[in-house]
Amino acid sequence: MVIGPNGSGKTTLIKCLLGLVRATEGAITVNGTAVSSDPAYRAAIGYMPQLAEFPKELTVEQLLRMMNDIRGARTGSTDERLFAELGVESLLDKRVSALSGGMRQKVSAVLAFRYRPNILVLDEPTAGLDPVSAGRLLDAVLRARREGATVLITSHIMEEVQRLGDRVAYLQDGRLRFTLAPETITSATGESALSQALPKYISQLAPHDVEGL
Amino acid sequence: MWKVCKYTLLDLARNRFAMGYTILLFAVSTGMFMIEGDNTKALITLSQVVLALTPLLALVFTIIYFYNQYEFTVLLAVQPIGRRSIVLAQFLAVSSALLAAFMLGVGLPVLAWAPGAVGATLLVSGAALTTVFCAVGAWIAVTQRDRARAVGIGLVTWVFLVLVYDSLLLWLMFAFSDRPIEPLIVPLAALNPIDLSRMLIMLRIDLAALLGYTGAVYHQFFGSTGGMVVSLLALMLWTALPCWWAVRAFARKDL
């Protein structure tokens, strides 16, 4: 889980990881491949952006078929569980431009999980989703993790962080302040809920104290 | 890369502007041939329209289309596809769609009314200009963040190449008329793709009255065949260079 105030660099971090933004210094490797060298590494990543944008003229069905084609996925090899759970079936013949923000978010979630990626990168995945769909999406995350996937999630919702995260990275002004287990934070502050514990914990930190790296 | 090209083409096939462009070209061409009894004269008038119109529309269309495709581009950029393939595929798709529009809109009427060497040259140079300005448009679109600014730069580029450049050349020749300036003028004219295409057509028509002063000099230097080969090579360079710059800029761009 990656958390941090608005503008702390969570999305930028993800964009660097996906090769959308070039890092000004340092090198990023994914499964041993440098991000800047070979785009093939992205086949292992399922990505759900903060705001999903798709070509507006396509219907959802055309979009899914096109992504199958581009990903080189054979029919039957894709993961259709989230597709069924989020009810994307009923959106198939709709044009992307006619979808609401939440509907688009559902399609985006389906696309991220569909090609059975080893790495899931979800940028505020539940923002804009109704509670039922959000719950199903989080279940899918837990399922993917049990199946051995690495999941990187940014979120502002501490309940989510506490439920899903085994490690929490806190970013501030583009710097990593700490990486800790949620339990460490809660026990250090004596609060049971991370939403209470985190502000307390952060206020105790010295301005540029980096811990747990 | 071919998959990206395929889906971009499928999208372009439904694009209303591309259809409108085809119809506009077709209307202009057929209109010209029907009004003007003499097919060669009609061809000459048509070539003036083609030389001015195709660069403008190719430039503006490519720029606007690249911006409209932004979501698709970002979606592709997070897939296991290289940045080079994405921008090259989009360039290929847009240029082939515009080429198809040109061939249907101008090619068919020319073949129907005035088939022959002059007509063929008109089609070749129109097609070359379409590709060249597609490449330039792609380059502008990739390097500029703001759409309006990109279109503005496109329009300025067009005005400069279609109008200002020729005036500058004429002024240069006038200012240095007492010196042997021609060897300098020829490469200078070759730097402008619209001038080059004009040369291609003029050399074939062989009508001195229609040649600008630049054209006359050009004719004198290259004769018909030699000039043609050099022109075509220069036009290819005009496509390849902006295209390469666009690919390079896109590979480094933050999306």
Sorted by where each begins, the domain ranges of chain A are 2-204
Q: What is the distance in angstroms between the Cα of A41 and the nearest Cα belonging to chain B?
A: 7
Strand order in the sheet with A150-154: A45-48, A119-123, A150-154, A2-3, A168-172, A175-180
Q: Tokens 């198939």 belong to which residue? A: A92
Interface check B145 vs A, CB under 8 A: no
Instruction: Specify the amino acid at residue A196.
Output: Q
- Please determine, for residue B207, whether its predicted confidence score (pLDDT) is greater than 60: no
Interface check B83 vs A, CB under 8 A: yes
- Please determine, for residue B208, whether its predicted confidence score (pLDDT) is greater than 60: no
B221 pLDDT band, cuts 50/70/90, is: low
B101 pLDDT band, cuts 50/70/90, is: very high
Nearest to A39 by CA among A20, A54, A25, A61: A20
C-alpha distances in Å from residue A167, one per residue of A23, A102, A134: 23, 28, 21
* Mean pLDDT value across chain A: 84
Q: Tokens 């899903």 belong to which residue? A: A164
Contact indicator for A96, A59 with CB cutoff of 8 Å: yes
- Please determine, for residue A182, whether its predicted confidence score (pLDDT) is greater than 90: no
Domain limits for position B89: 2-252
Q: Compare A3 and B211 and report the one with higher pLDDT.
A: A3
Q: Percent of chain B at pLDDT above 70?
A: 91
- Please determine, for residue B78, whether its predicted confidence score (pLDDT) is greater than 60: yes
Q: What is the distance in angstroms between the Cα of B38 and the nearest Cα belonging to chain A?
A: 45
Question: How many structural domains does chain B have?
Answer: 1
Could you give phi then psi for residue B211, rounded to 5 degrees?
-75, 130
Pairing of strands A45-48, A33-34: unpaired
DSSP letter assigned to residue B160? I
Interface check B16 vs A, CB under 8 A: no
Option in A20, A57, A71 nearest B77 (CB) = A20
Interface check B23 vs A, CB under 8 A: no
Report the range out of A13-22, B52-61, B170-179 with the highest average pLDDT. Answer: B52-61
Q: What is the distance in angstroms between the Cα of B93 and the nearest Cα belonging to chain A?
A: 16
Which of A66, A116, A152 has the most B C-beta neighbours within 10 Å, making it the best mutation to test the interface with B?
Answer: A66
B119 pLDDT band, cuts 50/70/90, is: confident
B206 pLDDT band, cuts 50/70/90, is: low
Helix boundaries (H) for B69-82: 70-77
- pTM assigned to the model: 0.84
CATH 3.40.50.300 is the classification of domain A2-204: yes
pLDDT at A213: 45
Q: What is the distance in angstroms between the Cα of B136 and the nearest Cα belonging to chain A?
A: 24
Option in B7, B254, B255 nearest A66 (CB) = B7
B21 pLDDT band, cuts 50/70/90, is: very high
Put simply, the answer to whether B71 touches A20 (Cβ < 8 Å) is no
pLDDT at B56: 93
A50-54, B3-7, B175-179: range with lowest mean pLDDT: B175-179
The two tokens of residue B122 are 């008109």
Interface of A with B (CB under 8 A): 15, 18-22, 39-43, 45, 47, 49, 53-57, 66-67, 69-71
Contact indicator for A209, A177 with CB cutoff of 8 Å: yes
Cβ neighbours of residue A176 closer than 8 Å, sequence gap 6 or more: A169, A170, A210, A213
B136 pLDDT band, cuts 50/70/90, is: very high
Which of B7, B78, B83, B85 has the most A C-beta neighbours within 10 Å, making it the best mutation to test the interface with A?
Answer: B78
A84-88, B97-101, B208-212: range with lowest mean pLDDT: B208-212
Interface check B255 vs A, CB under 8 A: yes
Report the range out of A63-77, A168-182, B209-223 with the highest average pLDDT. Answer: A168-182
Backbone Cα Rg of chain B: 19
Residue pairs between chains A and B whose CB atoms are closer than 8 Å = 59
pLDDT at B22: 92
Put simply, the answer to whether B80 touches A40 (Cβ < 8 Å) is yes
Interface check B41 vs A, CB under 8 A: no
Judging contacts by C-beta atoms under 8 Å, the chain A residues touching residue B70 are 53
B173-177, B201-205, B247-251: range with lowest mean pLDDT: B201-205
Complex prediction ipTM? 0.81
Interface of B with A in 163-192 (CB under 8 A): none
Q: Which residues pair with A119 in a beta bridge?
A: A45, A150
Put simply, the answer to whether B71 touches A54 (Cβ < 8 Å) is yes
Option in B3, B71, B83 nearest A70 (CB) = B3
Nearest to B186 by CA among B210, B169, B208, B162: B169
Interface check B74 vs A, CB under 8 A: yes
Option in A21, A55, A71 nearest B79 (CB) = A71
